[in-house]
Structure 1
Amino acid sequence: MINSLYIAKTGMQAQQTQLDVISNNLANVSTNGFKRSTAVFQDLIYQNLRQVGANSTEQATLPTGMQIGLGVSSVATSRSFAEGRLEQSASNFDVAIDGQGFFQVTMPDGTTGYTRDGKFEIDANGTMVTATGLPVASGITVPIGAKSVSISGDGTVSATLAGDTAPTNIGMIALARFINPPGLTPLGGNLYAESAASGQPDTTAPGTDGMGKLMQGFLETSNVNVVQELVSMIATQRAYELNSKAIQTSDQMLQKLGQL
């Protein structure tokens, strides 16, 4: 009877973790390039009260055993890197990746961060930066007086200067991809960092060797499906209620036992 109290408690904890993950997904439904997560669970160790295959007599063995589970635990959050919807934007510096790959940005400590958020701006020095001011890793600088800037599907960045008819190449946006994107470490701010689980980045030009191509004037939206998250939230709520009901039932049974 005491085991049922603990088992139901682990179930409530697991469903609370699930709700936390769902809440984070819904909170970021409008975040550019956000990738939804799901909680991963596993059952806990079992009490083996009767071994499968043990001898029941000298000539017979048990076809089944008797194992009592001790509940559930959350072991991971798995992130889906399915591509979000591409939406046209009003800014000429907004860029979306149509396919695989991550933009590379230079972090304050000099390391490289990775993002699917192509909401780029130009700072006071003409450097192409993210919305939080981190420069694009390739170091693209727009010259003063540039009339227009174009970003081709293969990552070539060109600027048309005053008095010129032909555009001038001012840089290249290379993309990186990983053998295991869910293994990347989320840093917040739409950024990820390389980890031992993700593997080392494979950097190449957009549109080559299976890498996604760039689309200027577009942004990738979150891949969160609101309807799916709401259905998961209802299922999580019901599971939480059932586990709490199991605790109440166990408590009532213990009260009855105490009255004997």
Structure 2
Amino acid sequence: MDTISHVALSLAAAMQREMNVTANNIANANTTGFRSERVVFETFVDRGAAQGDDSDFVLDTGSYVDTRPGALTMTGNPLDVALNGPGWFAYRTEEGRTAYGRDGRFMVDVDGNLVTVSGARVLDDGGGAIGLPPDAGALEITPEGVIVTGDGNALARIGVFDLPAIQSFERIGGGLFVPPAGQPDGALPAEATQVVQGALESSNVQPVLEMTRLLDIQKAYERAVQLTRTHDELARDAVRRIGRQS
């Protein structure tokens, strides 16, 4: 396979990757607290032996989390919680892993545990699971994340953390992130984030822009595939011509 085919295939592979990421963003446009993903590409220039013979390849160098906030929507549900600021909630998944996200749709399960709608346990500021007594009554959640009963007793403080290394974290679905295997999460107390009771944060995905991006990506992918096909047809035609002359 020659250089032209390699260049076209590098572009097609890059567009396939970006298409998958963009499609996942669109699929999560209504996922509470979802953070969209962006792919990063770089150009690798292969210096040819002859002057002007350089070839530019597309390299997929990874992706990053778009940390722009989503819009806050007031729900009036006392166990709906949104974050105003860059912090993250901490959860314990069913597999026992500590994960981070922005989904504040909380509820109390049959055992009195504060959990998400997916069943993950909500963690406090010390990393422990939060349990609520059955007679807690009406609950207030302060801007600092403290859960207070109607008679003023503080039960727990919802953990809100800054994650300086969030760009290295892995997505595990449902808008959740975990640190790379064997690496510390580096979580720090969030100083610049307020907890908003009775509200939820929308996904930061902008569906119209994502659909436009998806169409552009598809066109670029089709151009790369067509370039490969055209080059292959020219190569076959050249072989046929040479065969007729020999």
TM superposition score normalised by structure 2: 0.86
Q: What is the match of residue 55 of structure 2?
A: 69
Q: What is the match of residue 213 of structure 1?
A: 194
Answer whether contact 1:184 1:198 (CA < 8 A) is retained: no
Q: What is the match of residue 253 of structure 1?
A: 234
Letter in 2 for 1:32: T
Letter in 2 for 1:122: V
Structure 1 CA distance, aligned partners of 2:154 and 2:198?
19
Q: What is the match of residue 131 of structure 2?
A: 141
Structure 2 CA distance, aligned partners of 1:132 and 1:226?
24
Q: What is the match of residue 102 of structure 1?
A: 88
Task: Please list the CA deviations of residues 113-154 of structure 1 after superposition, one character each: whole Å capped at 9, or x if unmatched.
Answer: 211111111011222111122222223333223331110111
Q: What is the match of residue 30 of structure 1?
A: 30
Match of residue 99, structure 2, among 102, 105, 113: 113
Offset at residue 198 of structure 1 (A): 8.3
Whether 1:169 and 2:159 are equivalent positions in the alignment is no
Offset at residue 234 of structure 1 (A): 1.6
Structure 2 CA distance, aligned partners of 1:93 and 1:78?
30
Offset at residue 44 of structure 1 (A): 3.6
Q: What is the match of residue 172 of structure 2?
A: 187
Letter in 1 for 2:194: K
Offset at residue 232 of structure 1 (A): 0.8
State the aligned residue count.
236
Structure 2 CA distance, aligned partners of 1:239 and 1:15?
7
Task: Please list the CA deviations of residues 165-191 of structure 1 after superposition, one character each: whole Å capped at 9, or x if unmatched.
Answer: x33211111311122322222122322
Q: What is the match of residue 234 of structure 1?
A: 215
Answer whether contact 2:94 2:119 (CA < 8 A) is retained: no
Structure 2 CA distance, aligned partners of 1:198 and 1:239?
39
Structure 1 CA distance, aligned partners of 2:217 and 2:92?
39
Offset at residue 108 of structure 1 (A): 4.2
Q: 1:80 to 1:108 in 2, by over 3 A?
A: same
Indicate the SS of the match to 1:74.
strand
Structure 2 CA distance, aligned partners of 1:94 and 1:193?
23
Q: 1:7 to 1:232 in 2, by over 3 A?
A: same
Offset at residue 199 of structure 1 (A): 5.7
Letter in 2 for 1:100: P
TM superposition score normalised by structure 1: 0.82
Structure 2 CA distance, aligned partners of 1:134 and 1:247?
47
Offset at residue 67 of structure 1 (A): 4.2
Offset at residue 257 of structure 1 (A): 2.0
Structure 1 CA distance, aligned partners of 2:45 and 2:229?
24
Structure 2 CA distance, aligned partners of 1:225 and 1:197?
32
Offset at residue 29 of structure 1 (A): 0.5
Q: What is the match of residue 143 of structure 2?
A: 153
User: Which blocks of at least 5 consecutive residues in structure 2 are unaligned?
Assistant: none
Identity level (%): 25
Larger of the two Rg values belongs to structure: 1
Q: What is the match of residue 56 of structure 1?
A: none
Task: Please list the CA deviations of residues 205-246 of structure 1 after superposition, one character each: whole Å capped at 9, or x if unmatched.
Answer: xxxx3x210001111111001121112112112211221221
Q: What is the match of residue 78 of structure 1?
A: 64
Structure 1 CA distance, aligned partners of 2:38 and 2:146?
36
Answer whether contact 1:181 1:198 (CA < 8 A) is retained: no
Structure 1 CA distance, aligned partners of 2:237 and 2:32?
56
